[in-house]
Amino acid sequence: MATANLRVVHNDHDQTLAPASMQRSPRSLNRLREVREQQGVTLRTCARRMHLDMRTLRSQEEPDADLKLSDLRRWQTVLDVPLAELVEESDLPLSRPVMERAQMVRIMKTAASLLEAAETPEVRRFSTVLIDQLTEVMPELSEVSAWHSVGQRRTLDEVGKIAEKPVSTRTMMTNILSAQDD
Number of domains in the chain: 2
pLDDT score for 50: 92
Q: Both 81 and 138 in a single domain?
A: no
127, 79: one domain = no
What is the tens place of the pLDDT at every residue in 26-79? 557 888 998 899 888 899 999 999 999 999 999 999 988 888 889 999 998 888
pLDDT, tens digit (0-9, with 9 covering 90-100), for 69-98: 899 999 988 888 888 788 855 555 667 787
Q: Give tens-digit pLDDT for 146-182.
A: 887 655 555 555 556 655 666 566 666 666 676 666 5
Shared domain check, 151 and 125: yes
Across 4-33, average pLDDT = 52
> φ and ψ at 133, to 5 degrees?
-65, -40
- Whether the Cβ atoms of residue 32 and residue 58 lie closer than 8 Å to each other: no
Domain of 77, CATH number, reads: 1.10.260.40
What is d(CA 12, CA 75) in angstroms, rounded to the nearest whole number? Answer: 46
For residue 9, report the phi and psi dihedrals to the nearest 5 degrees.
Answer: -115, 120
Domain ranges, residue 129: 96-181
What is the chain's percent helix, strand, coil content, to nearest 5?
A: 55, 5, 35
The answer to whether residue 4 is domain-embedded is no
